[in-house]
Every structure is written in structure tokens, then in C-alpha cells.
Chain A
Amino acid sequence: AQKVTQAQTEISVVEKEDVTLDCVYETRDTTYYLFWYKQPPSGELVFLIRRNSFDEQNEISGRYSWNFQKSTSSFNFTITASQVVDSAVYFCALTSGNTPLVFGKGTRLSVIA
């Protein structure tokens, strides 16, 4: 069975601080996809990023960056220079492709001005 663990329930940072959200996953499949979704206070689920299991290159996109490490089954997400608009619940999710997305319990990020 697939499982996603987000050990951080809530994080609070002051604006302009960097913040890293942790995600650890479990799967027996050799091909899989990892995602981060953002759920702002308005409630919708917004797709942010995807990573394929066969591509461990880490990337930066604007203020977002992610660190995918197969050796530790981790897929951490960093927001640089956080802003108040980043306040939301962030979900890590996993699929093997032909399976539904499995979500972690989410991390609530509060960015204080």
C-alpha cells in the first residue's frame, strides 16, 4: 500500500523567512509520481509541482524549490522568502500512475507579517 507522511502539522514563520515542508512516502512501485498541492483558505486544491521517480534532479521555480531523495523516500518542498499569501495547507501526494493520488495529512503554513 502507498502512504504519504507529513510529520509537520503546523508551521508558523515570519514573512521573508525560508520554510521547508517535509514529506516522506512509501511505495513498492519502481515508477511513481510525487506532487505538492496548495489549499488556500478559499478551499480549492491547487497543483504546484510534480516529480517523477526516475528523475531525481532538484529544481527551483521562482520562490519554490524541491528536494527529491529516493534514498530516504523524501520529497521536501521549500518556499524562499515567504509571503503572507503563502499561508495555506500544503499537501504532498503520491501515485504510481494507474492508482489514485494518495495524500498526506497536510501541513498548515502560517506566514506572519
Chain B
Amino acid sequence: EPEVTQTPSHQVTQMGQEVILRCVPISNHLYFYWYRQILGQKVEFLVSFYNNEISEKSEIFDDQFSVERPDGSNFTLKIRSTKLEDSAMYFCASRRDLTEAFFGQGTRLTVV
């Protein structure tokens, strides 16, 4: 069964460093998302991506964040200068149409 895959599963980085979180969505899906979940809290929307551009973003998705789909298969989230409060589980999701989203296993980002 096709699935969304994310790498790495866990990333530890020093405050101020740049990180890139990688995702491979399901191949015939058209809509891509990044969500964030701070430990023990709700799943929060960051950004949606469709037709090679950002379609919507939340207040959390400030200038420190960027997304790319560089090669038609990968979908990346970059955080330019990490802060302690960026520590969270980051989920990538994809949708074939405008119904359910399928999520990857998540990348646990720890900023020290």
C-alpha cells in the first residue's frame, strides 16, 4: 500500500542551525502539507502546496520556513535558523483529492 515517507525520523540540531525535513508523498497525490505537533498538543497546520506553489499558510509559517518540491517526488520543509520553540514532531501529508489526507510517520525535531 502506498504511503508517505519522511526522513529523518529524528533530527537533533543546535539553535540557529538550518534544518531540512524531507518527505516523499504518495505518487499520484496532488496536494501536499506540513503540520506540526508540539509534544502532547494538537496537530497544527503550517502550509499547503499545490501546483508547485504555496496555496495557504498559517501564522506559524513565517519567514524562517520555506517549502520546495525540487524534483517532482520530494517535498521539503526548511527551517533557516532554528529556535528552541521549533522543537516538535513535523508531519508531512498528501491528498489525491480534497478528502482525506495521509500522513507520514513524522520527523521529531529537537533543537538544543
On A, residues with C-beta under 8 Å from B are: 33, 35, 37, 43-47, 50, 91, 95, 97-106
Residue interface mask B28-70, A partner, CB < 8 A = 1: 0000010000000111110010000000100000000000000
Q: How large is the interface on B (under 10, 10 to 19, 20 to 34, 35 or more residues)?
A: 20 to 34
Given A100-B33, A100-B48: A45 and B43 interface contact (C-beta under 8 Å): yes
Contact A101 B42 (CB under 8 A): no
Contact A99 B103 (CB under 8 A): no
Q: Which of B41, B45, B108 contacts A105 (CB 8 A)?
A: B41
Q: Which of A37, A44, A98, A103 contacts B105 (CB 8 A)?
A: A44
- Point out the residues of chain B lying under 8 angstroms from A44, CB to CB: 103-106
Residue interface mask B72-109, A partner, CB < 8 A = 1: 00000000000000000101010000111111111010
